[in-house]
Structure formats: C-alpha cells, structure tokens
Structure 1
Amino acid sequence: MSLPSENAGQVPHTQWEVLDFAPAFYGFWEGEGEFHLSLYLLAHRLNRAKLIIDHMRVLFLSNEQFLPLSGGGSVGNYHLVRKLVERGHEVTVATPIYLGSEEVRRVEMENNIVLKPFSPFYLHRNISLRGPKYVLYGFLYTFHLLRLLLSGRYDVVFVRNCLLAFPALLLRPLAKCFYALSMTDFLTGFLHNNKSYPAKAVELLFKMERSTARHFDIVYVITPEMKRMLAAAGCHASKVHVSHDGVDTALFDPSKVDEKEVNDIRWKVGLEKRIVLFHGTVDGHAKEKLAEIIRGVTSRSEDMVFILLGQGKKYEELRSELESDRVMFPGYVPHEEIPKYALAADIGIIPYEHTFNSNIIITLKLLEYLAMGLPVVSTNLKSIDELFGAYEFVRLSPTTEDFIEKVLSAGFQEKSGEAVNYIKELYSWDKVTSRMVDALEEKYGKEVDVV
C-alpha cells in the first residue's frame, strides 16, 4: 500500500524524517479491507498533525521592543520567542528594535530568528504623550503588517497585547492562519484614573479592547481576574488560558549573585542597617504614598534605610524631597543588576494605590523580589491577594498606616527559601513559556482539523 496523497499539498513542512510512531503504525495495520484502510488513513493524519505542530511558522507581533531588554513586556517577548525556537518553530519577530543593522544581524544569528523590526519612533511606557504615540504606532503598524503578510507565509500570528490586535484582526482575511493573543494588562486600563478623558469614551474603548479577544483562537492572560473579565465580555472561557507572568530565575537566583557586590551595597548603607527596597516606575499616586511610607518608617526606626531604583519625573521629584543618608536614590539600574540589590535588601515593597490596572495584574517586581527570597509588603491589590495572600512571605496592607507597621515588623523576617522555590516552580519564564507553547501547539493541532 502506498502512502496516501490526500491533502498532501496542504502540509506546510514535508520533513518526513522527523516522524517516529507512524511507520510502525502503518506497517502493523497494512492489509485488506475498509477497516484496515480507515486505520491506515487515521495513522497518516495523526502523523500529519504531529508534523505541523513540530514546525509552525510564527509571526510574532508586539509594540514592546524585543531588544535591548527594558523590563516588563520586552523580557516576556524575549523568553517567549526563545521558547518557540527551542521547540523547533520558525519565528519572525516584528517589534520595535533599537539596534544598528550589524547588531540586528547578530541577534538573528544568535537567536535563530528572522527580525522584521518596525521602529518609526521611540516607544516606551515612560515616554511623554504615551497615549497618542501608541495610537499612531498601531495605525502605522497596519501597513508594516500588510507588507509582511503579502511577502511571507505564516501558520500562526501571535500578538502580544491589544495595541496590535486591531491591525492584526483588520488583516485577518488576508492572513488566513491561526491567531493567538497574549494580554499582560488592558491598555485602556491606564485611562480609568486619568480625568483628562471622558468617562464614557474610556468605557467604550475598554469594551472594544475586551471584545477583541473573542476573535482570536487562543488567548493568554496573567491573572484569573483578567480571565473573568474577558469571559464577562463574551470570550469563551475555554479559549482563555491563565499563563501567569514570569521572572528570569536564571538571573534572579540568590546562588548566582556575587557576594562581594552584595557586601559592597550593605557596606555603603551600614552593615547594621535594614534595607527596604523599591524598584520600578513611580507615578503620581505611588509617589505620594511612597513618600508617606518613607517618612513614617524613618521617623519610627533609626536602623531602616530605603533604596529606591528608578527614573523619570516623579522619581526625581521624590529624590528632591527625601534624599538623605537614610533614603538613597541610585537612579536607573540595568535590569541585570537588580538581583544584587534584592539580595542585599531585607524587605521589598509594592506601595501602589488601588487602580483598575494595579488590581487586575501582578507586577513583575513582586516576582523578582520573591525569586530572591525577599519578604514583601504590598498594598492589598486584588490579584496579588488572590494569588499570594495565603503565603507568609507576602504581607498585604489595606491602609498606609498598616503598611508602615508591616514594614517595621517585616524587617526582622528572614529570607524565604519557600518563596524562591515557589517562584521557580510556577513563575519562572521557562515554566510560563512552556505552558503557553504547550497550549498553542495543542490548540493549533485541533484547529487544523487533521483527524
């Protein structure tokens, strides 16, 4: 019996040498009659499914830069692309990239990917006029995506966050492939506390953003609360996967930090001092609460010192108000240097106010603190409470006064090996991206309808 040719032209990759179980299956069932023929065709189609899943051509879209890493979404983009390549998939990355042409070629070779960058202007979460620039980027990206779809063939279009979901959906009839969406927050969520925008307009934009998920074949979110909100907006719960956000546990690993660098930090602060660490963005609401916490703690304890890592206008305002030998502002610190500060510290803090977005997401700094075994004091934000509220290494505070009291008492808490192991097992980028690619391969295998 010869190999069936039914639908053979639809197989996107004909590397038959990767097959393993099918030859034995073919030989075992080869015989006469309709029963044997049906089993034979089943084996062939199962084998074709494996072939497709083993090698998908993925077009990866994001408005956050692939390289250089800038924290937040760019780190997630990098690890997700690396996992797709590790699984044997062919990945074309179409994101902003702020590198020279020689560096771009080096990145392509080192990561075994194809780069199709789109960087008409600098795009970052801390830029001025962020809203208008994001909208303009999404509009211009439509033409970039059109060129990519006309010049290449892809099995999967993978979109990170909703800014590029709109141009991707607009061009879906042309793409004719599987669509995946990963949401690490709701972009319109940042507008909820901005009084510059009419409330009805914000609500309309938010409904539009949530409704986009319904038009994708698979959707990833980072918290159960985000999944509930998408389900309430009409997205079938079965297609929404809570993948969680991740942390690079190869970088944030207490055993890999140079002890001398940690001792240098503690020596500058004072070996007998207890260090409270904050790193990240300081916005208007966080600035006022953070200032109140710092004043409250330093007025009640002589041996507690704050180290604040960051940059931006509000960060500089806070520096001008509070900088002293008890409150230190090193400024911007490269992402790869944050672990030594976390290991030197005694407490990590998340002093954010309750906002729409802060309640539905998990901030990456929480995972980074915990990966280093650092006890955390946080505002009792909804998703942090749901996912971490039961653990002793995270203390949640409903008020600023309670926050101050918990910082004062948490300074005597030891580093948590339980936190290190918990993050490594559930929130490492390796585990998070493995879950995401597993779900993609399974869902894509069903959607191609090969059996």
Structure 2
Amino acid sequence: MKIGMVLWGNFPPDIRVEKEANTLLKEGHEVFLLALKRNPKEREHEVYRGIKINRIPKPPLYEIFYGSFFNLIPSAKKQIEVFIEENDIDVIHVHDLFLVNTTYFASKKFKIPIIADLHEPYPELIKLWHGNRIERFIFYDYRRWLFFENHTLHKVNKIITVAEEAKRRLILIHGIHEKKIEVITNTETLEFCNLSVNRGIVKAYTKYFTILYVGGFGSHRGIETLLQATSKLRDTIPNLRVVIVGGRDNQIRKTEERSRNLGIADIVEFTGYKPFKEVPSYLHAASLCVVPHTLTSHTDNTIPHKLFQYMLLGKPVIVSSCKPLREIIEMTKGGLVFTANNPNDLAAKIEYLYKNKKLLKKLGRFGLRATRYGKWNWENTSKRLISIYKNLW
C-alpha cells in the first residue's frame, strides 16, 4: 500500500511521525511524506530512513489568513493533489487538525480514505497562545476552530488521538462515534534503550541529586511551577541540581532571569536544545525526572513522549495531576503525582523521594517494568496503527 502522510511542519524531526512511518514501512508499505520546506538547505525530495519526503514552501501569509477563516488553504490543496497523483497514493494520513479539511478536499478527488492523526486537541491548544486582539481574532479564535474540528472530523474515515481523554472529548463535544476513534499514545520504542550514552555527561552530575526536565517552554509546560518548587528546596537538599533540556534562546534567557530573581540561578542549568540522540545521556544522569504540566483543557487531553522515555530508562517520575499523566502513573506505579500548579506540593514530593531512596529506586523499577517489559512501549502500541490499516477497507 502507498501511504501519503501530510505534515504542517518540517521533517525531520518529528518523533511521532517517524515512529508511525517506520512501523508502516516494516509492514511492507511505502510511506511518502509531504512536509514544509522551512530551511533553504533542505532538499525538495529526499529519502530519510525509508520515508520518501516531498517538501513544499510554506503558503503565503494571505493564504494562511484565508485558511484561518475558511479552514482551507488553496495552494496546499493543489500541492496535496499533485502529491497524491504523482505518487499514486492509496491512503492519505494527515497530522494535526490544521490541514485536515484541506487534505480532505484534495483526497476527495481521488476517492481514497483519509486518516486524521490528532497529536493534540488544536482548539484547546490555541487557548494558550498569546497575541494582540487582531492576532487572536484571525488565528486563535477558539469557537471558530471548535466548529472546524466538528465539521471536519465527521468527514474523515478514521481519527487517531494520543490519549483516552482526547477520545472521550471528541465523543462528548462532537458526538463522534467511538469506533471511529483509535487511541495511539506516545510510547517510546525499545530502541531508545540502546542509544549511546555520553559518560562525560553522566559523570558531571554524579555528586548531585539531579532533577531533570526535557521539553518545551510553553506556559502550560509548568516550568514556572518547577522553578518555584526548586526555590523551596535549596536549603533542604544541599546537593540539588535542576537540569532543563530544551527551549529556544529567547525562552532560555527569560527563564534564566526568572531563576536569578528566585535566587536559584546557581542550581538550575539550562542546556538548550539537544538532538534526540543526546537526550538519553541526561536521562541516565538524572536522579528523578519531572513532567510539571499546568492544568489546562489542553494538557488534560495530551500525553508527552518524555514520560515514557523517562520510565523506559528506569527513572522515577513526578508528574502533575493532569488526567492522562495521573492515569499512566497510577497504572504503572512508576512515580508520584503532585497537584498541578502547586509548587509547594511538587517540592514536598521531591523532598519525600530525596529522603526515601528505597522508594525512589522502587518507582524507577516499576516504570522500567511497565515500559521495557510491559505494554507501555511503541512495539505494543503500534499494533493499533497496523490494525487501522488492515481494516480500512
């Protein structure tokens, strides 16, 4: 089968897209990917680990304006049609809501099935985006995108979400039949365990009780909660070190300033963005990993890759009380849950594990057992993706 994936973004990297594509390749399918060309050095056509990539320029701003109001980008529709025709695509698999309707109208001409892969609930995400009144009206209008979501998803053949909560949301809000929705969560491949480790990085943190956060710096990520919790712990945990991996330069500068204001700049380290292959080195160096998401309608319907990456390497985890995070931890026993948005509770949980090293190790073992030796890995999760394609017709 020739599968055409459509992504509103550049590739690589995209962990989820790559995992899904690799699974389908192993099943004997051909995988083509239409992505945006955001770097002049990127080639228009490239084969990346078996994925045949076609890159197109980002549509002009006036078309994105149009798409924000009418849920259709004309030039992207034409390019998707060319992509389908030139590659003789059998199934179109579009990632995220923004291009689902555009892709639907492109695929309609060829009468092929369409799968909508929702990495996150887009209307809930735009609630978190900031901007002036005009930007919010044009790009971030919640009610408009909620209408688009309802109108669009009823038309596709199959919907994929990353969490059971996201599935329940679509059923409850839009009345979509549960059999149309499949949950394929963001578990990690077992190959992640075999990525090389930089012993120099691990050695650099051996004398510390190291708390690790990996990920973005959006306000919903909860870094502010982590920093406030850290300020309450510096006198309690004398060898404390908080390592934050990720973020753009401007975000890091702002967060470093916040650390200075809290009096913790000497115990908080920002590494900046690190390639995926370097992340395991920091995980191996960590004593404890955190997912401190704030409680929002977005984080209550998503699950991050990093949670499973942490557990796959045997690291105990503290997560906030967002539903998907809490449920995974309750099922795996791989960590503790603190009350979201509450730095006092996060600090208390960290201190508790610092003082209870046996429990710290026990939680790490439970997480390892649930992921590496249990069902919470991509090798098991991907069976659902394989099943979708086997039962499309």
TM-score, with structure 2 as normaliser: 0.84
Asked if the contact 2:203/2:285 (under 8 Å) is kept, the reply is no
Secondary structure of 1:402's aligned partner: helix
| Structure 1 CA distance for aligned equivalents of residues 59 and 141 of structure 2 | 27
Secondary structure of 2:33's aligned partner: strand
| Structure 2 CA distance for aligned equivalents of residues 429 and 64 of structure 1 | 23
Asked if the contact 2:3/2:89 (under 8 Å) is kept, the reply is yes
Per-residue CA deviations over 1:142-173 (Å, capped at 9, x if unaligned) read 22112224444322111111111010122333
How far residue 342 of structure 1 moved from its aligned partner, in angstroms, is: 0.8
**Number of the residue aligned with 1:48:** none
Alignment of 1:115 with 2:53, yes or no, is: yes
171-180 or 407-416: bigger deviation: 407-416
325-334 or 360-369: bigger deviation: 325-334
How far residue 427 of structure 1 moved from its aligned partner, in angstroms, is: 3.7
| Structure 1 CA distance for aligned equivalents of residues 41 and 242 of structure 2 | 41
Secondary structure of 1:300's aligned partner: coil
1:231 to 171, 174, 198: 171
| Structure 2 CA distance for aligned equivalents of residues 97 and 404 of structure 1 | 43
Q: 1:332-371 maps to which residues of 2 (within 5 A)?
A: 332-371=273-312
| Structure 2 CA distance for aligned equivalents of residues 185 and 334 of structure 1 | 23
* Greater share of strand: 2
Paired residue type of 1:295: S
Structure 2 regions of 5+ residues with no counterpart? none
How far residue 405 of structure 1 moved from its aligned partner, in angstroms, is: 0.5
**Number of the residue aligned with 1:401:** 344
Paired residue type of 1:381: C
Secondary structure of 1:117's aligned partner: strand
How far residue 287 of structure 1 moved from its aligned partner, in angstroms, is: 4.0
* 1:119–1:430 CA distance, 2 compared to 1 (3 A): farther
Paired residue type of 1:298: R
* Greater share of helix: 1
Aligned-residue identity in percent: 15
| Structure 2 CA distance for aligned equivalents of residues 112 and 84 of structure 1 | 10
**Number of the residue aligned with 1:378:** 319
Asked if the contact 1:211/1:230 (under 8 Å) is kept, the reply is no
How far residue 226 of structure 1 moved from its aligned partner, in angstroms, is: 1.0
| Structure 2 CA distance for aligned equivalents of residues 287 and 259 of structure 1 | 26
Name the Cα RMSD after superposition: 3.0
Alignment of 1:249 with 2:186, yes or no, is: no
Asked if the contact 1:213/1:230 (under 8 Å) is kept, the reply is no
| Structure 2 CA distance for aligned equivalents of residues 250 and 281 of structure 1 | 23
Paired residue type of 2:175: G
**Number of the residue aligned with 2:127:** 192
Paired residue type of 1:249: L
| Structure 2 CA distance for aligned equivalents of residues 150 and 213 of structure 1 | 24
**Number of the residue aligned with 1:84:** 24
| Structure 2 CA distance for aligned equivalents of residues 259 and 101 of structure 1 | 29
Alignment of 1:209 with 2:149, yes or no, is: yes
**Number of the residue aligned with 2:368:** 420
Paired residue type of 1:90: E
TM-score, with structure 1 as normaliser: 0.74
Alignment of 1:293 with 2:229, yes or no, is: yes
Asked if the contact 2:316/2:335 (under 8 Å) is kept, the reply is yes
Per-residue CA deviations over 1:276-309 (Å, capped at 9, x if unaligned) read 1112112235343232112112233212111111
Secondary structure of 2:6's aligned partner: strand
1:307 to 243, 246, 255: 243
Paired residue type of 1:141: A
Structure 1 regions of 5+ residues with no counterpart? 1-55, 123-130
Per-residue CA deviations over 1:41-76 (Å, capped at 9, x if unaligned) read xxxxxxxxxxxxxxx121111113332x2xxxx111
